[in-house]
Amino acid sequence: MARAEHDMTTPPLDIDALRAEFPVLARTVHDKPLVYLDSAATAQRPQCVIDATTRFYSEYNANVHRGVHQLSVEASEAFEAAREKVRAGLNAKSEREIVFTRGATEAINLVAQAWARPRLEPGDEIIVSTMEHHSNIVPWQLVCEQTGAVLKPAPINERGELLLDELEALITERTRLIGLVHVSNALGTINPVERVCAMARERGIVTVIDGCQALPHVHVDVQTLGCDFYAFSAHKMYGPTGIGALYGREPLLEAMPPWQGGGEMILRVSFEETTYNELPHKFEAGTPNIAGAIGMGAAFDFLDRIGIDPIAAHEQDLLTYATDRMQAIDGLRILGTAANKGPVISFIVDGAHANDIGTIVDHFGVALRTGHHCAMPVMQFFGVPATARVSFGCYTTRGEIDTFLDALERARTMLA
């Protein structure tokens, strides 16, 4: 199986020093050392992210913007500094293009309700891929119900790869939006996002990219990708939960109405009229997750310090090692064998339910994910109710993969 490309001259990670930055990795589970192979669901947090959020609460906790006292000034500066870190991390043109949200789900819903709903008419079309997370399916279904638009799924092949020609064949003069995951959480497939965005742009079609699984593993440059919107959650990339961001091209955001009303998103309110705030605050109603945003900024700093290239090289080595060993196991089938993959392996074992596998290996200290991974159409395509999934982060080691495989063999023996 081919892997995601990376620079072979990249120096290796100092994995021991890196792991020491993650306090939770020192703990035990069921009297066994923790082996955390569930980073696609949520990554662990380095101490620098924990310290950034703690420092906010312990040293300058205050609401942001408009306050003139010192704590509010410090909080506002740190909050907006985090926005600049996100902008730089995505290579957006302006901080006005970065909207803080609760995560990718809220970001996609924002686009659905503030861009799509006011514009779509009966018979208009939205295309999404069959491998999407539910958060890039359900918001569009809701909009279709609200507007009379039609949702069209683009197919994948047995390797879990997007069929680009068939996606293009689905496009008509009524196609208004294409939603696509950058890296599949269920299969690990890295999609040809730049090609899809170019295809859409030539036809005046708006693109919405779910980048949750991409940011911790590959370079993301929204200007190079050419997307209109890019959504992500910080907790997938070593940041806090409950915070994320939406990148949107400024002309599109400028033309969109706010989708939530309240404080912060206004300039002036009377009973006769409300004047909305400037970008990006127009979309940030209410007191934001200040600590979360600051922690997200620290996560971007962390990734910048470690470097995506060494992380990618390390994770692709792990993916190759684990895939080769798992393919040699009788009765085990990997779902998702795309030529270009991120560090995710979903699998089934003959005669064993995924949940049983997950329960048994947990008693050996191994944390993996079981279920449909919020990607039920993927499970339906492969004809399975659920899979077990291992996913790697920058802190994962070959030794942990060995421990997982030993635990898996014990589970297979017990379930035989």
Catalytic residues: 374
Residues forming beta bridges with residue 379, ordered by sequence position: none
Separation CA 134–CA 202 (nearest Å): 27
Separation CA 21–CA 87 (nearest Å): 25
Separation CA 181–CA 398 (nearest Å): 28
Is the separation of the CB atoms in 127 and 175 below 8 Å? yes
The Cα-based distances of 404 to 15, 80, 288, 383, 396 in angstroms read: 18, 42, 40, 25, 12
The Cα-based distances of 104 to 13, 37, 244, 247 in angstroms read: 29, 22, 6, 10
Tokens 């596998």 belong to which residue?
357
306 contact partners, CB below 8 Å, separation of at least 6: 13, 18, 394
Separation CA 110–CA 336 (nearest Å): 30
The Cα-based distances of 182 to 4, 58, 152, 214 in angstroms read: 13, 37, 18, 6
Is the separation of the CB atoms in 249 and 230 below 8 Å? no
β pairing state of 28-29 and 32-33: antiparallel
Dihedral (C-alpha) 259, 262, 263, 265: value to the nearest 10 degrees?
20
Closest by CA position to 37, among listed 355, 377, 344: 344
Q: Please list the alpha-helical segments (H only) found in 241-307.
A: 250-255, 290-306
